[in-house]
């Protein structure tokens, strides 16, 4: 049996990919959906002058909104229909998940299974529409005032009609992206929303690379900084790839059972606990929570008198929360650590796992089933989550702080690399799972055909 499984694993190659028709269809569907996403990022909002937006993008470059622009695939600087990307949905997901962990009614919905999850997803979409409307309004009004202060007419016909039309377009664009992500998840390969974020980041790679080497050619960026940055990127990719595959495997034993030969045999397996159970969720959640108020204050600050009390507060807030500033990095690191523990508690329930082991007769050697097993799982999970939180904080905060200090463009920091590497690894794992299922399907068909031929 083991040799047969090894043979199947060794046959997972491109030669077998041509035989997996369903997998090819899923991959082509995913590629097509991502192409649609990229096309939408070039369609500007109604009433916006695309040529004037290029000048405004240069004036606002280097700020916190560069990160938002990266996650949306450059849609923000072009003020496209999907300028807000999927970040409002992620923020709404944070609020709903935290509420479901704290509010008894929502917690009961979460335990109802598929119907409860569907209801929570509905609440998340309502929250997404609400956040899109708020961010879209400040985005439209800020674009009007920002262009006027800079002497650039970015909006052809400013006014309430433009703002209402922009809000409707932005809400529709974000909701379409959510629908597109759901279609990728169900009919394609990988998690749709994660792939959309990754596609936005990867789309910025050619521009970033060209700007980096152009800065080296003109002398604005020292060659030593370029070499250091390349080494840092390669090192981060290796570190992320290594840690994301790291696991703490707990030995699980089952009672002895009689075999066909009359012998007693004890079964054993392993319970894998990933070092980074939360994955890319903590930095995305922390970024989205910081981007929500900063987007509003940065665009609202352009339409508020800076000499007034409110204007002074907004300007001060933007200065202290600018990218690379100590307060921003501190809040970002705290957010990563918090969501690392929070999301781990959401996706892994030690009490439920211990109860399932007890029902199936499994136990951890030296640990009594039930409450003791639950406490032990919680103890082990807390310890590895501490290591995972330190790893995530280092990967996301330290490189971006160094990038901010050296003046290299923002959007290739640790957060972006973490998302790209994680999503790529998960997608490849799903492709391998489909190929493995296809191999087993072929073996079952061949076994049935041989059985029929022998009977005949």
The two three-digit tokens of residue 176, written as one number: 């379409």
Per-residue pLDDT of the chain (456 residues; tens, 9 = 90+): 344 444 444 444 555 666 677 888 888 999 999 999 999 888 888 888 777 776 666 655 545 556 666 666 667 777 888 888 888 888 888 788 878 877 788 778 877 777 888 888 888 999 999 999 988 888 888 777 765 665 667 777 788 888 898 899 999 999 999 999 999 988 888 888 888 888 888 887 887 778 778 877 887 777 888 888 888 888 888 888 888 888 888 888 877 665 555 555 557 778 888 888 888 888 878 877 777 666 666 555 555 454 555 555 666 766 666 666 778 888 888 989 998 998 888 888 888 888 888 887 788 888 888 888 888 888 999 999 999 999 999 888 887 777 777 666 555 667 788 888 888 888 888 888 777 776 666 656 655 555 555 555
Closest CA to 290 of 123, 65, 79, 95: 65
The residue length of the chain stands at: 456
Alpha-carbon span 7 to 9, nearest angstrom: 5
Q: Enumerate domains of the chain plus CATH numbers.
A: 13-216+224-455 (1.10.3370.10)
Under 8 Å between Cβ of 354 and 377: yes
Alpha helices in 348-413 (DSSP H): 350-359, 371-406
Give me Rg for the CA atoms of the chain.
26
Q: Give the model's pLDDT for residue 184.
A: 92
Alpha-carbon span 398 to 392, nearest angstrom: 10
The two three-digit tokens of residue 71, written as one number: 């996650």
Which residues have CB under 8 Å from 381's CB, separation 6+?
273, 277, 344, 348, 350
Q: Give the model's pLDDT for residue 146.
A: 66
Alpha-carbon span 284 to 336, nearest angstrom: 9
Under 8 Å between Cβ of 198 and 424: yes
The two three-digit tokens of residue 362, written as one number: 């499994």
Under 8 Å between Cβ of 268 and 252: yes
Which residues have CB under 8 Å from 280's CB, separation 6+?
194, 418, 419, 422, 423
Which residues have CB under 8 Å from 24's CB, separation 6+?
17, 18
Sign (positive or negative) of CA dihedral 379, 120, 189, 186: positive
Pairing of strands 264-274, 247-258: antiparallel
Under 8 Å between Cβ of 155 and 48: yes
Under 8 Å between Cβ of 90 and 285: yes
What are the backbone dihedrals phi and psi of residue 260, each rounded to the nearest 5 degrees, phi first? Answer: -65, -25
Alpha helices in 348-370 (DSSP H): 350-359
Q: Give the model's pLDDT for residue 386.
A: 92
Sign (positive or negative) of CA dihedral 92, 95, 100, 104: negative
Closest CA to 414 of 406, 423, 424, 403: 403
Within 13 A of 381's CA, how many CA atoms are on the CB side? Answer: 24
The two three-digit tokens of residue 317, written as one number: 């807030």
Alpha-carbon span 329 to 396, nearest angstrom: 10
């Amino acid at each position: 049996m083991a040799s047969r499984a090894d043979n199947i694993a060794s046959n997972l190659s491109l030669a077998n990919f041509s035989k997996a028709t369903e997998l090819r269809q899923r991959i082509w569907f995913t590629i097509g959906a991502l192409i649609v996403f990229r096309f939408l990022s070039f369609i500007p909002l109604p009433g916006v002058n695309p040529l004037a937006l290029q000048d405004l993008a240069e004036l606002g470059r280097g700020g916190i909104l560069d990160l938002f622009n990266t996650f949306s695939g450059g849609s923000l600087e072009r003020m496209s229909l999907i300028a807000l990307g999927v970040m409002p949905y992620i923020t709404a997901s944070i609020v709903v998940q935290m509420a479901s962990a704290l509010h008894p009614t929502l917690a009961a919905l979460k335990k109802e299974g598929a119907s409860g999850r569907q209801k929570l997803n509905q609440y998340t979409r309502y929250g997404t529409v609400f956040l899109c409307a708020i961010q879209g309004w400040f985005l439209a009004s800020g674009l009007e005032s920002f262009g006027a202060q800079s002497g650039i007419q970015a909006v052809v016909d400013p006014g309430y009609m433009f703002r209402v039309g922009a809000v409707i377009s932005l809400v529709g664009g974000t909701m379409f992206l959510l629908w597109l992500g759901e279609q990728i998840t169900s009919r394609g390969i990988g998690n749709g929303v994660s792939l959309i974020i990754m596609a936005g980041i990867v789309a910025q790679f050619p521009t970033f690379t060209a700007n980096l080497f152009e800065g080296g050619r003109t002398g604005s960026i020292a060659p030593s900084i370029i070499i250091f940055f390349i080494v840092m990127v390669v090192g981060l990719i290796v570190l992320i790839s290594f840690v994301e595959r790291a696991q703490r495997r707990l030995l699980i034993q089952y009672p002895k059972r009689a075999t066909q030969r009359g012998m007693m045999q004890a079964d054993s397996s392993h319970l894998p606990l990933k070092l980074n159970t939360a994955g890319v969720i903590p930095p995305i959640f922390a970024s989205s929570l910081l981007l929500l108020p900063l987007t509003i204050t940065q665009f609202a600050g352009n339409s508020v008198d800076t000499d007034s009390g409110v204007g002074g507060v907004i300007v001060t807030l933007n200065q202290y929360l600018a990218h690379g500033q100590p307060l921003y990095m501190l809040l970002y690191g705290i957010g990563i650590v918090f969501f690392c523990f929070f999301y781990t508690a959401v996706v892994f329930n030690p009490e439920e796992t211990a109860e399932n082991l007890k029902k199936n007769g499994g136990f951890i050697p030296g640990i009594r089933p039930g409450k003791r097993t639950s406490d032990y799982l919680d103890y082990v999970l807390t310890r590895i989550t501490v290591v995972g939180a330190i790893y995530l904080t280092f990967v996301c905060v330290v490189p971006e702080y160094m990038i901010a200090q050296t003046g290299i463009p923002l959007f290739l920091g640790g957060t972006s690399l973490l998302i790209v590497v994680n999503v790529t690894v998960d997608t490849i794992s799903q492709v391998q799972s489909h190929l493995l299922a296809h191999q087993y399907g072929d073996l079952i068909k061949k076994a049935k055909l041989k059985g029929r031929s022998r009977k005949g």
